[in-house]
Amino acid sequence: MKIVVLKFGGTSVGSFKRIRIISKIIISYIKKKYAVVVVSSAMSGETNKLIKKSKEICNNFDKSEYDVLLSAGEQIACALISGNLIRLGYKSRSFMGWQVPILTDTNHGNSKINYIQKNNLIKFLKSGGTPIVAGFQGVNNKFKITTLGRGASDYTAIMIAKYLKAQKCIIYTDVEGVMTTDPKVYKNAKKIKIISYEEMLEMSSLGSKVMQSNSVQDARLNRINFDVRSSFKSTVGTSVTKRKNIKNNKVITGISLTKNDAKVTIVGVKDKPGIAASIFEPFSRNNINIDMVVQNISANRHDTDITFTLKQDDLNKTLKLLKLNKKITYRKILIDKNVSKVSIIGVGMITTPGVTYRMFKSLSRKNINILVISTSEIKISVLIKSINVKKAVSALHKEFKLDK
């Protein structure tokens, strides 16, 4: 039995018309003699409606019941898909996370999958049925419904592909595949035919909206190859796989960018061991993700300035925590909300000298000032003024010949 896992995102199941279209995609695989497992997100916008309903009750809605509420969106979509397949003469049924079951930990709102009991799915597949599995949800050892975090239907699909040893895992979305950069920012962005787990992980964590970064990480850890395709167009998408399967001459694979960063500089902090830990420890306890960090020692070698970036959504909470922190003293805090991060990503830079120079030189030709720099083995990120993002992406796209 050759198994394929097909995952459909919210826009792909966003209307009855769309559900009829994806039903044709599902049937096309059935006709190719695949045993098809479908994983579905909620209909586009449905989860936000459910969140709004919880807030109409109160702002601190019970976490356990919040998961029950939010998981209802996938239940509706799965029933509609299954019902349409039955109407067309195919054997199908919907499976909620607890019916598979998909067993998770007890961390409501952001659970991890511990194990998937595959017997029910295998039995239904062998009977000629097509199971429609609700993404984004599972059940814990207390028999309570859990959710896996926003965008985690991809995660469900990846893990089902792992446990069923599927031959294919295809993520259907509203884009043709993974693009070299955001086409809304640079109109000449190209579709990437094949990309490594590591590059995809960097792109998703640095602003690409195609997939949730946790899902990519799980695919990488479990060595699950998958494709990203459009459910709107019948075109070949992007294959995500391990590095050694990729043979191309591109030094840089893609360019990511962010649009809602803020830069905070703490001026005049005492330069002594443990001071950085004292600053960042309250952020960790309050689940505030700090990104780029730079420390500059003053001329007198007694004080230091510490600069870091974070999402604007966390800025007010961060400033409040700094003011309440009795373990540190400083002269002032500087804030800049008009900044964005632009990153070049590619496994090719590991073996190619001069990439950093080319990036910086390309930006300097456009008179773009770099505020902060961060690097990894396959990524170079710079913080620049938001007003320069389009100009920077265009320059880098041309410099590294991604237009071709």
Between helices 119-126 and 153-164, what is the axis angle to 10°?
70
Residuewise pLDDT in 10s, the chain (404 residues): 999 999 999 999 999 999 999 999 999 999 999 999 999 999 999 999 999 999 999 989 999 999 999 999 999 999 999 999 999 999 999 999 999 999 999 999 999 999 999 999 999 999 999 999 999 999 999 999 999 987 789 999 999 999 999 999 999 998 888 999 998 899 999 999 999 999 998 888 776 667 777 888 889 998 899 999 999 988 889 999 987 777 766 899 999 998 889 999 999 998 888 989 999 999 999 989 999 999 887 656 678 899 999 999 999 999 999 999 999 999 999 999 999 999 999 988 988 899 999 999 999 999 999 999 999 889 999 999 999 999 999 999 999 999 87
Q: To which H or E segment does residue 269 belong?
A: strand 261-270
**CA distances to 136, 347, 401 from 68, in Å:** 11, 41, 48
pLDDT at 380: 95
pLDDT at 214: 80
pLDDT at 295: 87
Burial of 101 from C-beta contacts in 10 A (0-12 / 13-18 / 19+): middle
Q: pTM to 2 decimals?
A: 0.84
Q: Name the architecture of domain 257-399.
A: 2-Layer Sandwich (3.30)
CB of 248 closer than 8 Å to CB of 346: no
pLDDT at 377: 87
**H, E, C per residue of 343-382:** EEECHHHHCCCCHHHHHHHHHHHCCCCCCEEEEECCEEEE
Domain-wise residue ranges, the chain: 3-174, 257-399
How far is it, in rounded angstroms, from Cα 389 to Cα 376?
21
* Class of 3-174 in CATH: alpha beta
Enter the tokens of residue 326: 């009795």
pLDDT at 249: 66
Tokens 């060595």 appear where? 223
pLDDT at 301: 66
Please, what's the b/e burial string for 48-81 (b: 16 or more CB within 10 A of its CB; e: otherwise)?
Answer: eebeeebeeeeeeeeebebbebbbbbbbbbbbbb
